[in-house]
Amino acid sequence: MNPIKIFLYIGTATLLGSCEKNVLNKQPLGQIDNDIVFKDVNLATLYVNNMYLGLPGGLSRGLDCATEIGEDGHNWAPATSWNTGDISPSNAPFSDEWGSMYTQIRNANLVLQNAPGLTGDPSAIDQLKGQSFFLRAYFYTELVNLFGGVPIITKAQTLQDSLMVSRNTYQECVDFILSDLDSASALLPAEWDAANIGRATKGAALALKSRLLLFAASPLNNPSNDMSKWQAAADAAKAVIDLGQYSLYPDYYNLFHVDNNQEVIFDIQYAYPTRVENITYRTNPAGMNGAYGMSRPTEDFVERYEMSNGKKITDAGSGYSPQDPYTDRDPRFYGTVLYNGDSWRGQTLEMFTDGANGPGIYDQYGSGAYMTGYYNKKFITENTILDYTLDKSNDNWILIRYAEVLLNYAEAELHLGNEPEAKIYLDMIRTRAGMPAIPAAETGTVLMDRFMNERTIELAFEELHFFDVRRWKTAPALVGADTHKMMITRNPDDSFTYQVNVMSSRAWLDSYYHLPIPQDEINKNPNLVQNDGY
């Protein structure tokens, strides 16, 4: 087990009072005596450890299933409300993150307020401050991406403070987060020793800055297309590249299963059985020991994969056959999607009607109408026990990886008109995937379309596409359209007939660029102004 995973678990258990001899056992976490916790750097370290447990992420959130590339398949899944247009301030999915993120922000504020009084190694105190700046920035980034401008709170509020805070503007929030990230990058080490792998680093702070500035430069947040914002995004991404610390892992599928490899910049550390994610049973194909088969790729997503020769499936000479649709595709397809005839857990998958993994006799969850003909392979392995009570993913969940930074840089350079520079970094990602370079003659809107497709394929289901289609303002056309599935029939001669059908018509309203602020928060604080359209 990775030492930092043990440390996080033990630290959190200690902080929550699992040991009778621990002085912290006297009070609940929310009532810890600051004079005790923040007297010594070692105790403060345990407090910071607890903040890492609040990092949001994971396939079980299903963010990308609220876009055209995914389908969660059950009416109780978080994405369903988006897909059916049933969003309100009282029932919005992910809205609980408002409270959970502000809880962690308060924890970070406590550390930063009390850091001047800490005793111990000065470098360790600086590292605690750096982690707190980074984590506060991460939590605020999550809030801003989901809700737009939010209240900036820089101290741990008490009942004596004015709690009726107002929202800051989006740009004010971006500026504040950038300040935190600059402070974090100045204080954090380039890397940690083996006992502390998983903590925030200088590279993580710079990479999050790259993401933040790219989002801020995008059409949703930069309607005037201010080129200085694209330049800032390019510079931030290049700063990560110039560290020379990260590189692309050679195997696309296994990069998600080899923890702490050279592509990982920041991730959620998991360790069985103390901290796990419940995704394997949830995402394995239906019909396998009662698995749910959720987070299913759609036909719309599958059709985005080029042929191995770099041509779209609709291009002349691509070699694509509608009745042999899964042959000779982009290698990332085989690392992301489980399809009819694929091999998984010693079985040949049967996605056809009444097949072992298709709609029909095994549809015990009543979700056959939303079976897409595919299952998600990207984050699951065949060697995990497939049992509801034992089946937990032990793989770390990557929050930021180097490929995203390369794509961030390429996107900014494209908007700045530096197409040759952008192609260099796009081709790095395509080469790792085993795909040919982008044709030299490809420019302009054709190249931009290629880039957007490349980013979608490379980062699919990593909880970025949900935000990408919003910041690009492509969501009305993509998310608000019919979503398709592949219907498969097995013929008497054991051949198959493949037919693309409409699965569902999805809803899009312009209010969906952001979540509504939870109604409970509006009720408590009349100074909070609700997002438009809610």
From the centroid of its chain, how far is CA 326?
Answer: 27
Supply 466's token pair.
């949900």
- Helix 122-147 vs helix 97-114: crossing angle, to nearest 10: 150
Beta strand pairing status for 496-505 and 397-401?
A: unpaired
Supply 504's token pair.
């569902």
How many other C-beta atoms can be found within 10 angstroms of the C-beta atom of residue 290?
14
Q: Does domain 202-269+396-479 have CATH number 1.10.10.10?
A: no
Continuous segment of H or E residues that includes residue 521 = helix 519-524
pLDDT tier at 33, thresholds 50, 70, 90:
low
Q: What is the domain partition of the chain in residue ranges? A: 202-269+396-479, 276-394
pLDDT in tens, 325-336: 999 999 999 999
Answer yes or no: is pLDDT of 26 > 80: no
**Residue 285, pLDDT score:** 92
C-alpha distances (whole Å) from 220 to each of 75, 147, 175, 215 are 30, 13, 17, 8
Hey, CA dihedral for 181, 182, 184, 185, is it positive or negative?
positive
* Burial of 450: CB neighbours in 10 Å, binned 0-12, 13-18, 19+: buried
Q: Where are the alpha helices (DSSP H) in 66-195?
A: 78-84, 97-114, 122-147, 170-187
**Residue 367, pLDDT score:** 60
- Are residues 53 and 18 in contact, defined by beta-carbon separation less than 8 angstroms? no
**Residue 352, pLDDT score:** 95
Lowest mean pLDDT among 153-157, 169-173, 254-258, 446-450: 153-157
pLDDT in tens, 260-271: 999 999 999 987
DSSP 8-class letter at 86: -
Percentage of the residues of the chain whose pLDDT score is greater than 70: 92
Alpha carbons 242 and 248: distance in angstroms, whole number: 14
**Residue 29, pLDDT score:** 46
Alpha carbons 58 and 333: distance in angstroms, whole number: 20
Alpha carbons 73 and 295: distance in angstroms, whole number: 7
* Burial of 370: CB neighbours in 10 Å, binned 0-12, 13-18, 19+: buried
- Are residues 299 and 485 in contact, defined by beta-carbon separation less than 8 angstroms? yes
Continuous segment of H or E residues that includes residue 430 = helix 419-433
Work out the average pLDDT over 504-521: 94
- The better pLDDT of the pair 387, 512 is held by 512
Answer yes or no: is pLDDT of 359 > 80: yes
Answer yes or no: is pLDDT of 463 > 60: yes
